[in-house]
Structure 1
Amino acid sequence: MQMGFLKIPEAEAWFLSRATVPACLLGHASPAADQDGLALVDILVAGGRIARIAPAGAAAPQDLPVVDMDRGMVFPAFVELHTHLDKGHIWPRRRNPDGTFPGALENVGLDRAQNWTADDVRRRMDFAIRCAYAHGTALIRTHIDSIAPQHRISWPVFQAMRETWAGKVDLQGSCLFGIQFTADAAFIEDVVAHVTEARGVLGAVTYVDPTLVPGLDLMFRSAAEKGLDLDFHVDETGDPTVRTLGVIAETAIRHRFQGRITVGHCCSLARQDEATIDRTLDLVAEAGMAVVSLPMCNMYLQDRVPGRTPRWRGVTLLHEMKARGIPVAVSSDNTRDPFYAYGDLDAMEVFREAARILHLDHPFGDWPSAITRTPASVMRRDDRGHLSEGGAADLVLFRGRTWTELLSRPQADRVVVRDGRAIDRTLPDYRELDDLMRR
């Protein structure tokens, strides 16, 4: 079944004409771009791959079906660098009554202790991945709550899910626990073993805590020994005195760490004075770290006081980071759980909201890379996130022709092409999870 605003041929080869593509997402010397960084191209698809990309107007090979985009936009399949597939869709049974960060922590902890069996995690995770797939995503990193004994339940589920979805949505897993748990040597050894077996990423939440420096040292040593990358939840608060981001960067520099380091949130940085910001960002750049902002979730949680209008947006300083050459991305984070009551793992929704919240416009420049090329590179998947001759014909086709058209509507009629063929974009029904929500 095909859905969307146009029909994709079932043929082995077909021709996509007059497609508008962000020039920054073309994997070769791009045709001339307009003032919005958009290029008009023709794309030949053959054998599930992109056989040719040329400036619009190229003659279609004879006897091939032609799909006229009429200047509608084309993106490569999306990449989500920071999600929580194991937490998703628990809101109906475990709400966050005041919408605050402490409320989210408390209620997720209660739900995890009471309900997170292997079957529960598997079904909710599969539901979330189906949503992402239908929206056009092909690569996801998920954080996995790894507080004992949950890590022994969730990591095997994740590995099974990765095998199930291989070739449709590729999955990376990153463990998640508070940095204070590094004081338990036996626990850390067990978690590192699970992460290593799953070819995952080593991660934690950092706090201003006596365990911060020794805990980071332990994690950097463990990652170096096992050949793992690192991913931290950092400074998810509006308190300007919380400054663990700089400590992580200093630790990376001191260890001369050669792996990839990703840090998410970094909210408090935006509340600090300019001298502290400059000093911290210089360290982050020197350490070679990448930053992922979660604009929808951070705006939802940060500066939330009952009966009071929030005074700031809750997001970090992506423009300043990008100016220093720091790789930056945006991602969904949580979906329909106590940390964020909304969301559907739609990367285009994330980009649309990020453009508004973070002013990723006028000009848009290469900001479309924040949901495609940049997170793919951070995840060591340079084959993803761009449109290149010889690459997989994994495309997301939109009717919107310009940025103002694309980002003014949800683009619910988009067409998702995987390996050169349109997929069924039917979203799973929330009613599938009703029995889990009655627990």
Structure 2
Amino acid sequence: MTAPFVYPSGKRYALRQARVLGRSLPKPEGPLDFDGFATVDILVDEGAIAKIAPAGAVDFGDVPEAALSGRIVLPLFVDAHTHIDKGHIWRRKRNPVGDFPSALAAAIEDRSANWTAADVAARMEFSLRSAYAYGTTALRTHIDSIGAQTRISWPVFAEARERWRDRITLQAAPIFSVDFALDRSHMADIEAMLDAHGTGILGAVTYMVPRLREGLKTLFELAERKGWELDFHVDESADPAARSLKIVADMAIERRFARRILVGHCCSLVLQEDDERQKTIDAVARAGISVVSLPMCNLFLQDRHPGRTPRWRGVTALHELKAAGVNVMIASDNTRDPFYAFGDLDMMETWREGVRILHLDYPFADWAPAVAAAPARAMGLDLGQLRPGGRADMILTRARDFPELLARPQSDRIVVRNGQPSTAEPPDYAELDGLKGLAP
């Protein structure tokens, strides 16, 4: 914050002249500026937001206060699509080719050789500490669920969820090829693990395989019987003929599926003919499906050919989906593994890069919910807003408009949880050196 900024002490205090997005408030608080911000005063009391009012409109009494002078205050982030079970394995299983088939092969090799419960637990913990330090309040991870790994990773996730329950809300969905849905033994393992350790979400990777509809039918039927939600990796491909998204949407409509469905990637959608793309988008909207784009990972993996500059960015038709009324968002996806060599589960980075890659700019305010309220809605969580009576969880920045906010990494942001500034910092990479193959 502006020097010499000192965060107010005590359990009751005021933040004056905070710039907060009107969309982050349950109701407008005064006039909005060009970027959609309201300038407000925030009263915090006993870890909760006691009141939000237009700047200078309300006397909060004799309480400690800090003048933010129009600096932006954000709700905490919600990250709807990650892979914390495979994060941080790059050093021992690189993908120098950089394409999707090579990433998949490398991850399978590493999983078979190294993913003990202790290894998965340590890397999950490292990932969650990073996300927490950067200001994430809820996160959904996909868990590789094939063979013996299913029985190894799910109890590890359940232990992490319990350990982090008062800090980050954790959800998880299994990930396996839709072909495996036709294997009764595999699905018995999946059902047992989700019953014991899951969060009511079933998922898979959908490809244009001969028995796609049959596999999807099995997954829909199980989700209906158990009352589970669905979360699919869909059409992560540069092939315009990859059209499983339309099949998922049509099946949800036909079955009148009542639970939430979230789909990720949908890369091939942008490469299809206009009329075919629009038919799919219309079906997705009608089915009430939410869509998450993974801008950093798909930029890394898609349209990669040796010696040739990529011709497209790998992301889905997010603008067109949003225009059709679809709930859209962006998320971190993979971190430092064969699918993406970089990343740190910092949703500020995801937002900043997503704006550049997907043109999520003017009007910036229309896209800001993509890292908080929209993913919260897709996950069934009441998060992503600053509201009186809610927890005083927020992020204070130096920025005063969107270009300032997105020009820098905001490494000096103040993450506030339960009304108090957090002292959490991202862990040192050296802490992973004790795991097999991860020391330099």
Q: Which aligned pairs between 1:36-435 and structure 2 lie closer than 5 A?
A: 36-197=35-196, 198-382=198-382, 384-435=383-434
Query: What amino acid maps onto 1:355 in structure 2?
Result: V
State whether residues 114 and 436 of structure 2, in contact with CA within 8 Å, keep that contact through their aligned partners in structure 1. Answer: no
2:200/2:227 contact within 8 Å kept: no
Alpha-carbon spacing, 1:355–1:187, altered in 2? closer, same or farther (3 Å): same
Name the CA distance, whole Å, in 2 between partners of 1:17 and 1:196.
Answer: 47
The SS at the match of 1:407 is helix
1:89-144 per-residue CA deviation (whole Å, 9 max, x = no partner) reads 11111110211101100000000000101010001000000000000001000000
Aligned 8 A contact 1:5 1:413 in 2: no
The code of the aligned residue for 1:120 comes to D
Q: Counterpart of 2:268 in structure 1: which amino acid?
A: S
Query: How far 1:426 sits from its partner (Å)?
Result: 1.7
Residues 389-437 of structure 1 show CA distances to partners (whole Å, capped at 9, x for unaligned) of 1111010111011101010000100000000011113210000001214
Which amino acid is 1:102 matched to?
Answer: P
Contact 1:175 1:203 in 2 (8 A): yes
Q: Is the 8 A contact 2:42 2:52 kept in 1?
A: yes
CA contact (8 A) 1:92 1:437 kept: no
Indicate if the aligned counterparts of 1:19 and 1:42 stay in contact, CA closer than 8 A.
yes
5+ residue gaps, structure 1, are none
Change (3 A) 1:5 1:265: farther
Judged with a 3 Å threshold, the aligned counterparts in structure 2 of structure 1 residues 5 and 189 are, in CA distance, closer, same or farther, namely farther
Q: How far 1:62 moved relative to its partner?
A: 2.7
- Count of aligned pairs between the two proteins: 437
Stretch moving more, 130-139 or 354-363:
354-363
Task: Give SS of 1:389's match.
Answer: coil
Work out the CA distance in 1 between the residues paired with 2:62 and 2:119.
Answer: 50
Equivalent position amino acid for 1:18 in 2:
Q
Cα distance in 2 for partners of 1:109, 1:268 equals 24
Q: Deviations over 1:231-273 (max 9, x none)?
A: 0000001111111000000111111100000000000000001
Distance 1:70 1:8 in 2: 14
- Structure 1 consecutive aligned stretches of length 4 or more whose deviation exceeds 3 Å: 4-7
Distance in 2 between residues matched to 1:366 and 1:430, nearest whole Å: 36
1:60 CA drift (Å): 4.6
SS in structure 1 of the partner of residue 404 of structure 2? helix
- C-alpha distance in 2 between matches for 1:133 and 1:426: 8
Q: Give the AA of the match of 1:242.
A: A
CA distance in 2, matches of 1:127, 1:60: 44
- Between the aligned partners of 2:327 and 2:112, the Cα distance in structure 1 is 36
1:5-40 per-position Cα deviation (integer Å, ceiling 9, x unaligned): 843234111101111111111122332211211111
Amino acid at match of 2:355: A
Residue pair 2:182, 2:218 contacting (<8 A) in 1 also: no
Name the CA shift for 1:144/1:5 in 2 (closer, same or farther; >3 Å). Answer: farther
Distance 2:368 2:116 in 1: 38
Deviates further, 175-184 or 56-65: 56-65
Is the aligned partner of 1:29 residue 2:4? no
| CA distance in 2 between partners of 1:349 and 1:306 (Å) | 27
CA contact (8 A) 2:82 2:142 kept: yes
Q: Residue 74 of structure 1 contacts residue 396 of structure 1 at CA under 8 Å; is this kept in 2?
A: yes
Q: CA deviation at 1:190?
A: 1.7
Moved more, 161-170 or 194-203: 194-203
Change over 3 Å in CA distance of 1:5–1:230 after alignment to 2: farther
The answer (yes or no) to whether the contact 1:5–1:415 under 8 Å persists in 2 is no
CA distance in 2, matches of 1:154, 1:94: 19
Partners in 2 of 1:7 and 1:212 — Cα distance?
58
- Distance in 2, matches of 1:256 and 1:185, equals 25
Distance 2:348 2:199 in 1: 28
Query: Which one-letter code corresponds to 1:261 in the other structure?
Result: I
Partner SS, residue 435 of structure 2: helix
Counterpart CA distance in 1 for 2:43 and 2:255 is 47
SS at match of 1:142: strand
Amino acid at match of 1:188: M
Secondary structure in 2 matching 1:123: helix
Q: 1:81 to 1:6 in 2, by over 3 A?
A: farther
Q: CA deviation at 1:72?
A: 1.0
Report if the CA contact (8 A) 1:313-1:357 is conserved: yes
Q: Aligned equivalents of 2:182 and 2:338: distance in 1?
A: 28
Report % sequence identity. 52
**Contact conserved, 1:81 with 1:141, CA < 8 A, in 2?**
yes
Contact 1:335 1:341 (8 Å CA) reproduced: yes
Report how far residue 59 of structure 1 moved.
Answer: 4.5
Hey, what's the Cα distance between the residues in 2 that align with 1:269 and 1:6? Answer: 47
Distance 1:5 1:433, change over 3 A: farther
